[in-house]
């Protein structure tokens, strides 16, 4: 039985002007009909979707899948499938794998493994420089030809201003978007928490606000000079938000995202030495968190990301300063997004935009369609379901989350992307 009829769902596709009850008939690889005529469902499996939402598949702009380089923590198969089962139909891998994504061989390996996994669609960001180092540019044209959707320095601060300038100019000449994570390589280089009263009380070396804002000021100036389209990942400070807003007001072709922990948590959540909350960028002040939330609501920040970084158990059992930074984010991405709706920060339309549509526009991939012949790219969610997030029931191989024990709304009943689908 290949055909599936989703019956009676509340379809929410803002870009299509659809916000109503609808039926959708599809088969792997093809939408057959929106609101099919009576009898068209003969032989199809019926999914009763009363009370459920049919939405565009979620898109995560930053997810380390730990392959290549650290497959003892996770791998493309485990994480791409976990993502699909949690409603994420597109994942983006930053270039800081091991080896770095600076050759066509690495790109081809990742994309081949992703096809074999048959989970979420995986996109790859290539490295701006060889080895994400400070000496020479990567072969960006070759990386694009191999399948890279953008290039960037995500995960590795860059100190060589002249090299970064040339890299941005080269990317602009190829009309290739860049994804940047603005971090000064020296200020706060040994830090493990936000520099402030909380880190001082715990005797933890700090990462000051200027570690982000100095690098962001430089990057914005070089982006403007090069005329390149740029996405800034993982903003964490109120001042950084203000700088981005000013750049957008001047018409720079820039966008930005924020990671879920920085939207919900603050520097106090690292106490007492909670390794699960050892993150980079660090959890910052309440004022920073509130500025990030406001920017997410008003659109200065375009997208939500999980910044998925699965670690093995030993990596988080070490003392806070030496614990591996980062959190596993795929399992909580949907629930935390729906929680933003519950809290009144976002309405449903804005949440869909920040978690599904804006990321597609940033990546330059098409928005989901429901017309006959379109590729399926949607999820069916029960928004009324609530479930406690427990490490032992997480689908990712990484069980490291600062949200353990939180009760989160939402459950994915169906997820479909191209010829792959999951049905609970």
**Which among 75, 302, 307, 331 is annotated as catalytic?**
307
Tokens (6 digits) for 146: 């191999």
Instruction: Count Cβ neighbours within 10 Å for each residue of 332-341 and write b for 16 or more, e otherwise.
Output: bbbbbbbbbb
Rounded distance, CA 30 to CA 5, Å? 12
Q: Are 421 and 99 in contact (CB under 8 A)?
A: no
190 has catalytic annotation: no
What is the number of residues in the chain?
424
Tokens (6 digits) for 171: 């990317």
Q: Are 163 and 130 in contact (CB under 8 A)?
A: no
Rounded distance, CA 161 to CA 30, Å? 47
Cα torsion 113, 116, 120, 124: sign: positive
Q: Are 193 and 267 in contact (CB under 8 A)?
A: yes
Q: Classify residue 168 as exposed, middle or buried by CB count within 10 Å of its CB (0-12, 13-18, 19+).
A: buried
Tokens (6 digits) for 132: 């994400």
Q: Are 105 and 132 in contact (CB under 8 A)?
A: no
DSSP-derived secondary structure letter, 186 = S
Tokens (6 digits) for 95: 């270039």
Cα torsion 143, 144, 149, 150: sign: positive
Helices (runs of H) and strands (runs of E) counted in the chain:
13, 18
Q: Are 23 and 39 in contact (CB under 8 A)?
A: no
Q: Are 103 and 129 in contact (CB under 8 A)?
A: no
Distant-in-sequence, close-in-space partners of 305: CB < 8 Å, separation ≥ 6 = 60, 61, 62, 233, 234, 257, 258, 259, 260, 329, 359
Helix (H, G, I), strand (E, B) or coil at 187: coil
Active-site annotation, residues: 307
């Amino acid at each position: 039985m290949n055909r599936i009829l989703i019956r009676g769902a509340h379809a929410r596709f803002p870009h299509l002007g659809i916000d109503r009850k609808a039926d959708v008939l599809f088969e792997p690889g093809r939408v057959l009909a929106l609101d099919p005529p009576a009898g068209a469902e003969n032989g199809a499996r019926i999914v009763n979707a009363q009370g459920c939402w049919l939405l565009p598949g979620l898109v995560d702009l930053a997810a380390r899948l730990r392959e290549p380089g650290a497959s003892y923590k996770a791998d493309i198969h485990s994480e791409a499938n976990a993502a699909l089962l949690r409603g994420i139909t597109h994942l983006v891998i930053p270039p800081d794998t091991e080896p770095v994504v600076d050759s066509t061989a690495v790109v081809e390996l990742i994309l081949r493994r992703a096809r074999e996994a048959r989970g979420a669609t995986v996109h790859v960001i290539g490295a701006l420089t060889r080895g994400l180092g400070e000496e020479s540019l990567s072969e960006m044209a070759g990386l694009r030809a191999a399948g890279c959707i953008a290039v960037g320095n995500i995960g590795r601060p860059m100190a060589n201003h002249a090299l970064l300038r040339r890299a941005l100019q080269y990317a602009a000449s190829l009309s290739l978007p860049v994804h940047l994570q603005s971090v000064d390589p020296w200020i706060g280089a040994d830090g493990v928490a936000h520099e402030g009263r909380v880190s001082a009380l715990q005797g933890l070396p700090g990462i000051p606000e200027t570690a982000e804002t100095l690098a962001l000021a430089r990057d914005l100036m070089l982006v403007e000079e090069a005329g390149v389209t740029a996405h800034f990942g993982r903003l964490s400070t109120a001042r950084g938000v203000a700088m981005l807003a000013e750049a957008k007001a001047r018409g720079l072709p820039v966008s930005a995202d924020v990671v879920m922990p920085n939207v919900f948590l603050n520097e106090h959540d690292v106490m007492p030495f909670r390794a699960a909350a050892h993150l980079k960028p660090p959890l910052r002040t309440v004022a920073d968190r509130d500025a990030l939330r406001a920017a997410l609501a008003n659109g200065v920040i375009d997208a939500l990301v999980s910044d998925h970084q699965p670690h093995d158990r030993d990596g988080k059992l070490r003392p806070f300063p030496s614990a591996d930074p980062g959190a596993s984010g795929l399992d909580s991405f949907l629930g935390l997004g729906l929680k933003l709706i519950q809290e009144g920060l976002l309405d449903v339309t804005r949440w869909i935009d920040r978690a599904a549509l804006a990321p597609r526009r940033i990546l330059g991939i098409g928005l989901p369609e429901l017309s006959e012949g379109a590729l399926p790219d949607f999820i069916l969610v029960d928004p009324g379901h609530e479930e406690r997030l427990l490490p032992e029931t997480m689908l990712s191989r990484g069980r490291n989350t600062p949200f353990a024990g939180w009760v989160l709304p939402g459950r994915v009943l169906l997820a479909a992307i191209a010829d792959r689908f999951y049905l609970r």
